[in-house]
Structures are given as structure tokens and as C-alpha cells.
Structure 1
Amino acid sequence: MTEALCDRRPEPTLERLLADLVPPPRFSRARLENYVPDPAFPSQEEAKQLVSEFAAQLGRPTGGFLAKLRRRPRTARGIYLDGGFGVGKTHLLTSLFHAVPGKRVYGTFVEYTDLVGALGFQRAVELLGESVLVCIDEFELDDPGDTLLMTRLIRELSDRGVAVVATSNTLPDALGEGRFAAQDFLREIQAMAERFQVLRIDGEDYRRRDGVAEIRSLAEPTVREHAEEQTGSTLDDFDELLSHLTTVHPSRYGALIDGVASAHVTGLHGLTHHHDALRFVVLVDRLYDREVPALISSGPGAGIVEDLFAPELLRSGYRKKYYRALSRLASLAHDGSGLLTGGSADPAGERSA
């Protein structure tokens, strides 16, 4: 019988949480050398040069006897890569991770908040404070508690001399805009923003340039038959999956799909509420990170999925997350369709975001 994600209740250990602080499989091959800037958008070349120079600076020896005598470390500066989805921000972030020697960690925003919850704030600062570099992907502040937590974490790491580099779809002084009363936390947000050199990266979604623009829905019998025939596949009803996601912390969605070779979902339909939509976005991100093809059915026949996120969601403060999820799910569904024709899932390629 084919397994369902709904049957899984991951409880990752602290050791697992720490071991996961590395770039996911999709970005394991990302390097500065294979990031190819689009000449139509000069900011991409500028970002590549900035990250290259930053990597060289972090890799330069700064030790010595006198340096060890300093009582207080210098406050470290960081980089904040802002831009739309699909322009290569995550590729650049993981390239930096691979280019810098010494201890460094990499994780998404929710992975860091979960780590702080597991360790306690001070222990997390001490542990992460041993790093040369902390990489934070998908920096999005969705509630006041996370705002206070992450801004304080960045300040304390920076004061210890740890370089922090983050990617986001939102400029630092606009974090939380349209989602909660960001003005109440403006001082905290601005204090964090002062630690970064902010660079806006413009460009088009590379997945659209590759011809992957629409989410393909397959006939439901086709999805079910493929799931039953394949080793390592999972099969879930969409509504049951959404319900199950409410019982699993988003930071554990990576563990939820451990060992999954292909994910199959039937009954996909439009989403109208943020709480369901945002959890599904995180699941799509983790499937994309781990290069897990998706075979999707939204009805009895094949077609194109439209209006997955309601118009009011796409006009909200979370709109950039939703558009990124649409792009990534289209890519995963494209890979899933390729499995039916004997093709293989297309890995990250030269530029991933």
C-alpha cells in the first residue's frame, strides 16, 4: 500500500536540526562560477561581484596574537539580497556558503526559529556564534514574536563578529508590512537593517524562461496508478494533507518528506485562507529544495491548475510568497509529468532561486 504524508509525524532530534543547517540538495551544486547573470539586468552581475568580494573578505586570515587579545569582537556587517523570486538569490547565498572556509551554517527562517525554540535563545546564540557565517534564506517576518526574536538574534550574532547574509522578497524596513502592525516594531526592524548592506536584484523568473510557467494537472487515475507503481512515492488527498499540516510545525516539513522520491496529490483546489495557503507554501518550498517531483490532480481529467491562491491572497502582504510557490509548484509538476514519459526531474541547473 502506498504511504501517505498524512501518516507521518516527524519528531526530529536536536542532532537532526543541527545536521540540517546546510544547503538542501537542489543547491548542493550552486557555485559563484555557475551563476550566470542575465545581461538585461545589471544588478545580477553586481550581486555576484558583491558576494564574491564578501566571500574573499571572510576567507582572508585576520588572526594573530594581537587579534586574540581583543576583548570585544568587532560588529560584523552582512548582506541582504532582496528581489523577486527566480532571480538567483538562493543560488548566490548557497554559493557564498560553499566559498567560505570555516564553520558556517545555512537554514531557512523557520528552521532558525525552531532551533531557538529547541535550544533556548542564549544557547542558540552561543552555538551559532561559533560560526564565521550564518546564512538565512527566505527571510520573512510573519508575526511580532518572530520579529523580536530574529532581530535580536542577528544583533547578538553580529556583535560577536559573525557575518549574517540573508535573502528575502522584502526590503528590511518593509518586513511585516501588510501583515501585522509593523510600525510598533519599527525600531527593532531598523536596528536589524543597519547591520546589512542591502542589494536589490532585478530580473525575470528563470523558470519561466525555461518554459515552465503553468502547473500541470494530471488525470486522477494516472496519479493514483503512478503512486502505486513507484517505490518511495506518497499519495495524499489535498484536503487531508492540509489538515495534517496543521499538526506538524513548518520547520519539520523537511523531515516530513524524508526518503520521498515523488509526491502525489489528488483533489487539488483553490485556497482562500492564509493559514492553509502559507503552510502549503512551506511544503512546496521543501519539496522544491529536495528536488521531489510532484504529480498533481485537480479533477478527473488533465489540464492546467488555475486560481490556486484566491485573488485576495495574491493582493495581500504575502503575495510574493504565493507567487514564488506557484512558480516552484509549476516546476515540480513539470518534473512529475516527465516521470510519466520516462524523463527525469531536471535538477537546479545553472541558476536556482
Structure 2
Amino acid sequence: MRHAMVHDPVNLLKRYQSRIAQDGFQSDPYQERAIQSLQILANAVLSRTDRRGWFGIKRKAAPVRGLYLYGPVGRGKSMVMDLFFASLPDDVKKRRVHFHDFMIGVHDFMHNRRLAASGKADNDVRDSALLAFADDLARHVRVLCFDEFHVSNVADAMILGRLFAALFDQGVAVVMTSNRAPDDLYKGGLQRDRFLLFIDLLKNRMEILPLSGPVDYRLQYLESSGVYFSPLGSAAHEWADQIFAHLTDGVDAHPDVLEVRGRTVPVTQTARGVARFTFSELCEHPLGAEDYITIARTYHTILLEGVAKLGYDRRNEAVRLMTLVDALYDAGTRLIITADAPVDRLYHGHDHAFEFQRTVSRLTEMQSTEWFARTAQSVSEWHKNDTVRTDGRV
């Protein structure tokens, strides 16, 4: 007797419309096009999961055409992928992972296989390890979603083709978001000619879809929410939490450590190029221009919380804040602040009253639409940079 597990249909368009209404946005035709492709993929995944052989025995999963979404930052790639991922029933084995974290797991698996197979030819060990990894993953995951797919080193480039060919052959459905089109992956990289087979594999086994509408929704959100909140209190902290979650697509943040001439600068939270600091961490400790310049060059957006009113008793903190703002301004780094007073009433001393007027002017400019437009290119370049940064994100 033939048995089947039948899932309720998934309506991604309805979920999408509810989501954008909740966020106060209008439907985006580019996002809707991506939703259509994800709906086709969801239907294929559920249809495949529902089919079982005689006596309830699952048949080997047939290959499913995946989806590769690419385009500039802020266009909603992660959002639509997350809607797809969340819409799949809990009994569908699925995994969403940042590509960098995934590759760390691959290399760890291969390293352990090499240790266990000492004396064998390295190529044979590598190939068998990749196949074993794909087999193991396919047993536990049927849908694999990669966020921020990129290729930044030759070690990854040389194994991706073999690995993903095995995953596709095992019937794993793959969704990827990236800032780069497939043909632009690993441009200028070592031995890139050997990487071209992987690009061809992506084109053959996945739908390649640009999501490059004219609206940067992260930028639009910042313009509507503002980037300076006062006074301090629970409302300011909640506002900062919301902005950080929105700019990082709600991914798990992690600590980081920056090195500056042998010193270390701890970073409390960072994700997606956004770093979160307290005023105490950056301005009540003996940091200087080099530290702030390193921070400005490492992240495209800084969230600075708890800026205190500054007077004679806090003149050192005032100098550090002025230096920090100068470094961020010169680097085109966005700055989001919670403070105990509006910008023009933040400093009430005499020692640095004249110099602080430049800081007031810059903080005011950094809240403007013109500043957002000026820094949009910096944010885009940060995401396009194929160098793995200190926080492991690109």
C-alpha cells in the first residue's frame, strides 16, 4: 500500500505581502519576481517530500533546481529567502547558514579525514572527504540556504565544484544570496580558470535571478527611523535594538577583536558590517585616532549607545568623541547614536566649545539624506569586497 505525507500548500506571496505591510513598505516587483521563483522551489520541495514509495519507503530524492539571488545590498535578498525558509514545514529538514561558517565546517571535516587517512594520496583523501561530507549533509538536510555567498580564497575555490556537484546529485535543494553575479565570483583569484567549472555548475543547476531594484530598503529604513535618539532610557535601548536587528537582518551577532599596533580593541557585537559599541567602550577608555580609524575601515555602520552630556569634568571623553566622529566622517562610515541630549546640547563646557562645533556640524550632516546617499557606495563596496574581514563577513 502506498503511503504519503501531504503538506498544506505554502503561499509565499501572501506571506510576503503581510511582511511588507507590517514593515510599512510597498510591494516591490523585483522582490515579487523572486517570490515567484521561491514558490516554485517550495512546491518542488514539498512535492518531493510528500512522495513515498511502496510500504512508506522513501525513494531517492530527485535533483531540484535551486535559486541563486544576487544584487546590491538592501534590496531584500535575505528577507525573501528567510520567508521561503520559514514557510517550509518543520518536518522538512532544512538549514540556513552563512557561507563563511559553512566552509569552516567543510574544512574542519576534511582536516579530520586527512588525519585519519595519513599515508594516502592527498587528492584521493580530498575527493573521498568531500563525497563523505555531502553524503552526511544530505542525510540531515534537504534544503540548504546560504546567506552572503562569496568566494575569497583559493582553498574554497578548488573544492566548491566537487562539493556542490555531490550535493546537487544527492537532491539537496540550494538557495543562495550574493552581492555578485556568478560570472563575477572570485574575479582575479588564483587559479580562477579551475573555478570556472563551478560557475558553469551553478548556471546549469540553479536559476540565476538578479534582485536589483532601485530602492535600498535598509537606507529607506534609516531615513524614516532617524539615526540619533535622545534622551537615554529604555525607549532609546529598544530603538537601538530594532535598528541593529533591521540592519543585520536579524542574524546572530558575535563579538570581535581588532588589532591596532599590538593592542586589541574589543567589539561587543557585530554582524553584516554593523558594529555595536557603548560610549564607555569607545570614549571612556584610552583609545586614539588609530583605533577609531581601524574601526571606521572595518565596519560600514557604527551603533554608538549611551553618549553622555559632556562638560569640563568629561573633557577627555569629549576629545575622544570628536576624534571618533572625525574618523567615521572621513571614512564615510555611518553612525547611529543614542545620547542623553540633542546634538546641539551635547557639550556644555568651555575648553573645547569651539572645536566641538565642528563635531555638531558633522553629526548633523551625518543624519541627512545627502549623507545617506554619499555613504551608500561605501556600504556597497564593503559588501562587494571579497576579503574575509576580521568578523568573518564580507
Q: TM-score normalised to the size of structure 2?
A: 0.52
Shift of 1:86: 0.3
**Structure 1 residues 137 and 307: alpha-carbon distance in aligned structure 2, compared to 1, 3 A threshold:** farther
Cα 1:183/1:237, change in 2 over 3 Å? closer
SS at match of 2:97: strand
Task: Work out the CA distance in 1 between the residues paired with 2:160 and 2:331.
Answer: 31
Q: Is 1:76–1:160's contact at 8 Å kept on the other side of the alignment?
A: no
Task: Report deviation, 1:241.
Answer: 10
Task: Look up the match of 1:36.
Answer: 20
Q: Does 1:109 align with 2:132?
A: no
Which of 43, 52, 55 in structure 1 is aligned with 2:42? 55
CA contact (8 A) 1:32 1:96 kept: no
One-letter identity of the residue aligned with 1:107: V
The one-letter code sitting in structure 2 at the alignment partner of 1:126 is: D
1:176 shift after superposition: 0.8
Q: Does structure 2 retain, via aligned residues, the 8 Å contact 1:51–1:96? A: yes
* Alignment correspondent of 1:92: 80
Counterpart in the other structure of 2:328:
305
SS where residue 80 of structure 1 aligns?
A: strand
User: Could you say if the C-alpha distance between residues 194 and 306 of structure 1 is closer, same or farther in structure 2, counting changes exceeding 3 Å?
Assistant: farther
Q: Is residue 2:92 matched to residue 1:83?
A: no
Equivalent residues of 1:138, 1:169 under 8 A apart = yes
How much has 1:144 moved relative to structure 2? 2.0
Secondary structure of the residue aligned to 1:167 is strand
- Determine the structure 1 residue equivalent to 2:338: 338
Of residues 122, 131, 149, the one that matches 1:139 is 149
Q: Distance in 2 between matches of 1:298 and 1:243?
A: 20
Q: How does 1:189-338 map to 2 (within 5 A)?
A: 189-203=199-213, 204-212=215-223, 239-240=259-260, 264-265=281-282, 267=289, 269-270=292-293, 280=298, 293-295=303-305, 299-300=322-323, 302=325, 305-308=328-331, 330=334, 333-334=335-336, 337-338=337-338
Greater CA drift, 184-193 or 37-46: 37-46
Letter in 1 for 2:211: I
Aligned sequence identity (%) = 22
1:119 aligned partner:
109
Q: Distance in 2 between matches of 1:201 and 1:83?
A: 5
1:170 aligns with 2:170: no
Contact kept, 8 Å, 2:51 with 2:58, in 1: the verdict is no
Matched, 1:128 2:112: no
Q: Secondary structure at the match of 1:142?
A: coil
Mapped to 1, the partners of 2:133 and 2:321 lie a distance apart of 43
Closer/same/farther in 2, CA of residues 53 and 188 from structure 1, 3 Å limit = closer
Q: How many residues align?
A: 256
What is the TM-score normalised by the length of structure 1?
A: 0.57
Secondary structure, in 3 states, of the residue corresponding to 2:176? strand
Match of 1:152 in 2: 162
Structure 1 CA distance, aligned partners of 2:38 and 2:263?
A: 41
The whole-number CA distance in structure 2 between the counterparts of 1:64 and 1:183 is 42
Q: Give the Cα separation in 1 of the matches to 2:257 and 2:88.
A: 43
Counterpart position of 1:3: none
The change in CA–CA distance for 1:305 and 1:177 in structure 2 (over 3 A counts) is same
Displacement, 1:208? 1.7
Q: Any idea what SS the aligned residue of 2:150 has?
A: coil
| Cα distance in 2, alignment partners of residues 235 and 98 from structure 1 | 27
Map Cα deviations across residues 282-337 of structure 1 (whole Å, 9 max, x no partner). xx79x9xxxxx54597744756823438xxxxxxxxxxxxxxxx5xxx3xx42xx1
Give structure 2 stretches of 5+ with no counterpart: 1-14, 111-128, 233-253, 284-288, 308-319, 343-382, 384-394
Structure 1 residue 57, shift from structure 2 partner: 2.7
**Cα contact 1:82–1:201 (8 A) shared by 2:** yes
Give the distance between the partners of 2:52 and 2:166, measured in 1 at CA.
24
1:46 aligns with 2:33: yes
Give the Cα separation in 1 of the matches to 2:41 and 2:33: 12
**Partner Cα distance (2:257, 2:198) in 1:** 42
Q: Name the structure, 1 or 2, with higher relative contact order (CA <8 Å, separation 6+).
A: 1
- Residue 237 of structure 1, CA deviation: 9.0
Aligned to 1:54, what secondary structure does the other structure show? helix
Is the 8 Å Cα contact of residues 154 and 164 (structure 1) preserved in structure 2? no
Please give the secondary structure, in 1, of the residue aligned with 2:208: strand
Partners of 1:141 and 1:202 in 2: how far apart?
20
Residues 1:253 and 1:238: Cα distance change in structure 2 (over 3 Å):
closer
CA distance in 2, matches of 1:183, 1:89: 29
1:110 Cα shift?
0.8
Give deviations 1:204-254, integer Å, cap 9, x for gaps: 2212213449x9899xxx9xxxxxxxxxxx999965499759xxxxxx988
Whole-Å Cα distance in 1 between the matches of residues 133 and 278 of structure 2? 34
Q: Give unmatched runs, 5+ long, in structure 1.
A: 1-30, 223-233, 246-251, 255-259, 288-292, 310-325, 343-352
CA RMSD of aligned residues (A): 4.8
Report the CA distance between 1:133 and its aligned residue.
0.3
Shift in Å, 1:201: 0.7
